[in-house]
Amino acid sequence: MQLGWIDFSKEDRQKAFDVINLLSEQGAVDELGIGVIRDAFANYFFPGTSTIQTRAKYFLIVPYMLREAVDGRYGKDANRVLRAIDSAEKDCGIRLLEADPKAEGVIGSRVLPKGWVARKPSDIYWNGIRTFGIFCDYGLSIPEYVSLAVKLKEQKSVSRLGNRNDDAEENDKDDSDAGDIGNIRFWNLPIYHDDWRDNLTIELTQEEAFYLDKQIQKSTKGSLLEYVLKNRIDLNEYDDFASLTAELSEKVGEKLAYMMKLACDFNNLVYMARVRYNVMLSEDENTYANDEWSRLLPDIRHNATVDLDAVFGEFQLINPRAKSFLCGIQAAFITLDIDMADELIRKRERSLKGAARAKLSRTKEFDHSKWVGGGMLDYRFSNARRIVNDIYAGEVSADV
């Protein structure tokens, strides 16, 4: 079966990419349909992050490009400006690899310089740029921002012709430097040089690192991400979200501690379902899945005791089928009715995919030695760790 959509606009296409991406980020397909809950927890703990973000530098490279793209250098046609942005993003990727061919996290590194990616840095980082207040959020998409900025620039040019004075040119430059067009402030950025592309590297400069640290803390009050940065927590000391929770649960605020425990409890329930899924998919032939189930079995009742009403209530989620499935497997695990749990998992996959596409309906087609569908939920802990590491490294480096 092929997927397609009517070509209404670039924004419509991007929304379709976003939906598809939910099913494929980092190769962990959401076989049991709990992605909405997982993402709600992740957004609570690490707002502005994404599983496909790679390095913190893009939180500034993208704004640098987008701000200068509407200064008139690419003309007045919004579509032409958008094409120029695409080319500029590719050019930055090439420059980053020229500076360090082995640099980790350069988007497009596998296909550059000849090719380019379908999901560009601006697409990947735009939500974070808005969340962190780097872009003064007016609820705009990138195409909408470009269209509005180009129109405002043109209107101001027309107005200036009729109201010319000696200070007009200098005022225009001041507005541009501040990220303003007319009376609208689009950007909140650190001071940077016009030749920022020269000697561009994937590492943050010291000024960029301090700016990003402060900006994230200011815009994500009450989050785990804010706490980590504010208290200089070294995330490299923790293997996963659960170990971080164990260490910080008595140090963070009461609400955050409660949410972290709730997330861990939910994780335990979902992981047991994922283990059972792999046991069934492999027809009891996956050694790792079998060993994991044996390890979990003594604590199955304890690991199933998550407050699902609280999970759905905290995020105001209305998904009766997902809640029914989770409550069902919870009850099955607590009563040690594993056959019932397995049947609920089979039905859940069929309801999400249809009988023809459900993997558990065609187990012979898959490699029984491979794990499918993700393991313990990460809640973007590993992605946040990469961003935080970049900030810390930049803050102790010499400015370049």
Choose the final residue of a domain: 192, 214, 236.
214
The answer on 292 and 157 residing in a single domain is no
pLDDT of 12 reads 53
Choose the final residue of a domain: 183, 214, 245.
214
Residue 189 lies in a domain: yes
pLDDT in tens, 332-354: 999 999 999 999 999 999 999 99
The answer on 204 and 309 residing in a single domain is no
Please report the DSSP string for 352-372 in residue order.
Answer: HH-TTT-GGG-GGGS-TTS--
The answer on 70 and 148 residing in a single domain is yes
Please report the DSSP string for 225-276 in residue order.
Answer: HHHHHHTT--GGG-SSHHHHHHHHTTTS-HHHHHHHHHHHHHHHHHHHHHHH
Residue 133 lies in a domain: yes
The answer on 355 and 309 residing in a single domain is yes
pLDDT of 101 reads 96
The answer on 152 and 31 residing in a single domain is no
> 113: domain range?
58-214
Q: How many CA atoms lie within 13 A of 350 on its CB side?
A: 11
The answer on 205 and 62 residing in a single domain is yes
Domains in the chain: how many in total? 2
The answer on 345 and 258 residing in a single domain is yes
Residue 400 lies in a domain: no
The answer on 185 and 68 residing in a single domain is yes
Q: Quick check: helix, strand or coil at residue 51? A: coil
Residue 50 lies in a domain: no
Residue 329 lies in a domain: yes
Both ends of the chain: CA-CA distance in Å? Answer: 51
Residue 385 lies in a domain: no
Residue 384 lies in a domain: no
**How many C-beta neighbours within 10 Å does residue 354 have?**
10
Question: CA–CA distance from 237 to each of 47, 241, 314, 385, 387 (Å)?
Answer: 21, 11, 29, 10, 15
Choose the final residue of a domain: 197, 214, 231.
214
The answer on 85 and 32 residing in a single domain is no
Phi, psi of 181, deg, nearest 5: -135, 115
pTM of the predicted structure, to 2 decimals: 0.87
The answer on 145 and 205 residing in a single domain is yes
The answer on 85 and 200 residing in a single domain is yes
Token pair of 372, please? 């499918």
pLDDT in tens, 237-294: 999 999 999 999 999 999 999 999 999 999 999 999 999 999 999 999 999 999 999 9
Ranges under pLDDT 70 in the chain: 1-29, 157-182, 398-400
The answer on 361 and 317 residing in a single domain is yes
Residue 388 lies in a domain: no
